[in-house]
């Protein structure tokens, strides 16, 4: 879907991106993570030609983007930034309709799309479509920012630390919504963050960058169980490694089918970290598990949490 081949970008004497090769497959939720100055935002901004590389080739859906008109390329991709950047003189509706308007969609289609997106992002369409950005909370503004980016049904969504400025509760809600949107639409998402918990929670694959180079690329589980070097171990967090490790797997994967246990059941989709928290809170070493419809699936034992991941 997106590929970097030997891409380098310098700002004066500073090499922000150093001979980087990276591939983002179609449908991936790819998180770029690294310390500040690692070049992660520069990589993202080269994908929609907000920054031009000094060397190397960037392809999007097979096309060398240097040959495309920047505007044409950008209208095919959604773009969400940390500071949101809603147009303050436009209503929520007109903000969301910005790209469809640029593409010349008919009015009725734009209107339906705005309604659909506001509903998708849990904003009441009738209440918010006529509101101005300054009337919204920070979390609501970023919901509109995401809706604007999704408006023209892009195949690719670029997000540059979109939730970093939000409070933890709002951030958690928006992360859950992004995960749901990714599942529902299959849009390829490239997401920049410096927060490893966010990366582990959202990514299907993570790329760790440092000083403009790719340090490691892999699934959250790969990163946790097989860190490439000390920089990755630092990012993952040595102390909390175990908890992060538990956070990326669901209860369903470790449930012993057919067994029963007393107490309220855990949801099969809950993370192992949540399961551990529930066991500690209830003072038990086993809990029943139920599926999405509330039907009993089996039981989860504390010992199952201590096993390594199934590689079978």
One of 83, 119, 137, 284 touching another protein (CB under 8 A): 83
CA distance 170 to 142: 10
Quick one: 59 or 75, whose CB is closer to another protein?
Answer: 75
Residue 190 as a binder of another protein (CB under 8 A): the answer is no
Q: What is the DSSP string of 243-276?
A: HHHHHTSBGGGG-EET---SSSPEETTSBHHHHH
Residue 148 as a binder of another protein (CB under 8 A): the answer is yes
Pair 306, 275: CB distance under 8 Å: no
Residue 86 as a binder of another protein (CB under 8 A): the answer is yes
Alpha carbon separation from 130 to 92, 99, 226, 244, 272 (Å, rounded): 6, 18, 50, 42, 42
Contacts with another protein: how many residues (CB under 8 A)?
28
Q: Please choose, from the candidates 174, 55, 86, 75, the residue with its C-alpha nearest in 3D space to the C-alpha of residue 123.
A: 174
Residue 43: CB atoms within 10 A of its CB come to: 28
Quick one: 33 or 144, whose CB is closer to another protein?
Answer: 144
Residue 56 as a binder of another protein (CB under 8 A): the answer is no
Pair 212, 258: CB distance under 8 Å: no
One of 33, 121, 149, 201 touching another protein (CB under 8 A): 149
CA distance 212 to 112: 42
Residue 81 as a binder of another protein (CB under 8 A): the answer is yes
CA distance 203 to 190: 9
Quote the Cα angle for 214-220-223, to 5°. Answer: 55
Nearest distance from C-beta of residue 158 to another protein, angstroms: 8
One of 25, 26, 54, 70 touching another protein (CB under 8 A): 70
Residue 119 as a binder of another protein (CB under 8 A): the answer is no
Nearest distance from C-beta of residue 94 to another protein, angstroms: 10
Nearest distance from C-beta of residue 98 to another protein, angstroms: 6
Give every CB contact of residue 234 below 8 A, 6+ residues apart in sequence. Answer: none
Nearest distance from C-beta of residue 45 to another protein, angstroms: 8
One of 84, 203, 232, 272 touching another protein (CB under 8 A): 84
Quick one: 20 or 80, whose CB is closer to another protein?
Answer: 80
Residue 99 as a binder of another protein (CB under 8 A): the answer is yes
Residue 42 as a binder of another protein (CB under 8 A): the answer is no
Q: Chain centroid to CA 289: how far?
A: 28
Which residues of the shown chain bind another protein in the complex (CB under 8 A)? Answer: 48, 50, 70-75, 79, 81, 83-91, 98-99, 102, 132, 134, 145, 148-149, 158
């Amino acid at each position: 879907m997106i590929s970097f081949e030997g891409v380098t970008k310098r700002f004066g004497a500073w090499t922000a991106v150093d001979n980087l090769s990276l591939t983002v497959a179609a449908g991936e939720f790819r998180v770029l993570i690294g310390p500040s100055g690692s070049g992660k935002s520069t990589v993202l901004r080269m994908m929609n030609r907000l920054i031009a590389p000094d060397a190397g080739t960037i392809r999007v859906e097979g096309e060398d983007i240097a040959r495309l008109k920047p505007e044409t390329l950008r209208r095919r991709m959604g773009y969400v930034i940390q500071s949101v950047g809603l147009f303050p003189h436009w209503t929520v509706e007109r903000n969301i309709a910005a790209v469809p308007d640029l593409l010349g969609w008919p009015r009725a289609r734009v209107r339906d799309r705005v309604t659909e997106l506001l509903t998708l992002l849990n904003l009441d369409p009738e209440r918010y479509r006529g509101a101005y950005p300054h009337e919204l909370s920070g979390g609501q503004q970023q919901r509109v920012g995401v809706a604007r980016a999704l408006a023209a049904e892009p195949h690719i969504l670029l997000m540059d630390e979109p939730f970093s400025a939000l409070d933890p509760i709002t951030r958690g809600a928006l992360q859950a919504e992004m995960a749901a949107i990714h599942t529902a639409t299959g849009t390829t998402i490239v997401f920049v963050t410096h927060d490893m918990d966010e990366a582990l929670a959202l990514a299907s694959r993570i790329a760790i960058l440092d000083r403009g180079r790719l340090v490691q690329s892999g699934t959250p589980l790969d990163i946790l169980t097989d860190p490439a070097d000390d920089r990755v171990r630092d990012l993952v967090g040595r102390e909390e490694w175990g908890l992060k490790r538990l956070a990326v797997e669901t209860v369903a994967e470790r449930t012993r089918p057919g067994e029963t246990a007393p107490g309220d059941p855990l949801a099969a989709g809950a993370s192992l970290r949540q399961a551990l928290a529930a066991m500690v809170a209830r003072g038990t070493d086993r809990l029943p598990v139920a599926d999405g419809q509330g039907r009993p699936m089996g039981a989860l034992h504390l010992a199952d949490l201590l096993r390594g991941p199934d590689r079978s």
